[in-house]
Amino acid sequence: MLRKLLFGSILLSIISLIVIISGMFVIFNRGIKVFEQEEIENKEAAIALFVEDVYQELNTLARAHAYWTLANEAVQNNDTEWIEVNLSKYLYEGVFGVDLLFIAKEDESIVETYGFSSTEIKNTELYYLAIVEDTIANSLLWVDDQLYLMSAIPLANDDETDKNGIFIIGRALHDELLTYAKSIIVPVHSEHFFISPTDTPPEIDEHFVVFEVTSVDSDMYIYAHIENAYTNYIRDKMIGHTIAIISIMFSINVLGFLISIIISSKYRKKLIISMGMIQLSNQEFTRIPPNRIEELNLIGEKVNEMLQRIETDYLALTSKNIEIVHLLSKANELNDPYTKEHSDSVAKISEEIGRRLGYSSIDQLALSAQLHDIGKVFIPLDILNKKEKLTEEEIVLIKKHSEYGYRILQGISGFEVINKGVLYHHERYDGTGYPKRLKGDEIPLIAKIISIADVYDALTSKRPYRDAFTKEEALEIMKDKSGKHFDSKILAVFFEYIDDELQLDLNMDNQ
């Protein structure tokens, strides 16, 4: 009977391990695919924004020279000397990045052209929209295997009346712009980066990611073989975690075999009582105490040894998880040096607030505060450090950083509370925050603490778009938001901490 029980347990354990291993690999692979797909979507959005920025720059330049009464009159009067000095040659040979230029009258008679033939431009939808529909138009145009970003606009007076012709300029996708486009998609093999007017990929034995940009005339297809170091690193770590979990499962099964043998003996009840005393506390298992009965004492020692191994594997697994997170955090700091100083300061302030509140896990609070902006690793640096007012699209993209951070940390064992601080640190007490518009006690305590520390450090730090506020100015701003953006009780504790800091600074100055 005992042999049958042992054989059945071994067979069941083997089947269980096979199912667990298969399930974990399926889950890990799906997770990696979701991560990679989201990363590709973010890069597609960044490429579209890059093209739109070039269009906007060309449109601004075209407006300044096409909506010009003197230019309109010069074109109608065929004043080629004035046109060359003030429009065509001036723009084409100047520092404006204009590589193509075309000027024509309303009757489609050509006044000036640089860089390409009149036939090439007159057959485009871009030309039709500007000269027939009298609208500003943008398009991509391939000329002799070179891609140009184009802007077309009707000629008119200063007040945009008397539209009487067409003004077109274009900029080549030259090495500088190509380098910037690559920087959006990196990491990528430099020799495996192609831009093509067709959706037919290059014929080499590599897996390409395709980024498509369309227009009314031509399309641009970017083929890139991306080598994602972060994904490879995480995949390797997941395999390591799988092995660790299998070891733990195997150890537990061995422990089960020992229990199966012992429970058939006359000491079953005493052993069950001893095993029932095992529990996990602060990442450590309680041990089975010594027993006067030799057999039970021997089993207890073996079980304690097994528990020690499980503890070691558990701590190693936790250490690997934290290692992955710190890698991503370092990537974020390299992307934006301000983020490191800001994160360190927010972590310090959050710890002080937590201690004064009697928060139960200061270590988790500090780590959550340190990682609260980790999602900004997916936000382009030119948006993070932009001095001008952000567009609505850029604001929406930046607001996604808390969700990006949550996705990075989601599923890591022991990070459930930490992740709440990362996801909800921009929620407001009155329900006007993001991403979930939580309010009041719906917001986790850890997120309320980090929110106050985050806002204070942001206000007292110099940013590209403004100077830093003084401590006193920052406190007044935050006091006005008590009960609106912040929990008034936690804010009061924060004010006490700042008052103590200011008093300490004053005492040191007096010494």
Q: Is the pLDDT of residue 283 over 70?
A: no
Query: What does the pLDDT read at residue 350?
Result: 95
**Residue 475 half-sphere exposure, CB side, CA atoms within 13 Å?**
12
Residue 440: DSSP 8-state:
G
- As a whole number, mean pLDDT of residues 451-470 equals 89
**Is 60 exceeded by the pLDDT of residue 457?**
yes
Model confidence at 387, pLDDT cuts 50, 70, 90, reads confident
For residue 34, pLDDT over 60 is answered with yes
CA distances, 503 to each of 356, 478, 496 (Å):
17, 20, 11
pLDDT at 61: 92
**Is pLDDT of 354 > 90?**
yes
Domain at 336-510: CATH architecture:
Orthogonal Bundle (1.10)
pLDDT at 471 over 80: yes
Alpha-carbon distance 422 to 399, whole Å? 12
What are the pLDDT digits (tens) for 301-351?
A: 667 677 667 666 555 555 665 666 665 555 555 555 566 688 889 999 999
Residue 263, Ramachandran bin (φ over 0: left; ψ between -120 and 50: alpha; else beta) = alpha
Please tell me whether the overall predicted TM-score, pTM, comes out greater than 0.75 for this model: no
Give me the mean pLDDT over the 368-385 stretch.
85
CA distance 443 to 434: 11
Closest CA to 71 of 160, 132, 170: 160
Answer whether 40-227 and 336-510 agree in fold.
Answer: no
The DSSP 8-state label assigned to residue 467 in this structure reads: P
pLDDT tens per residue, range 158-186:
998 888 899 999 999 887 777 777 777 66
CATH top-level class of 40-227 = alpha beta
Q: How far apart are CA 457 and CA 343, in angstroms?
A: 9
Domain ranges across the chain: 40-227, 230-321, 336-510
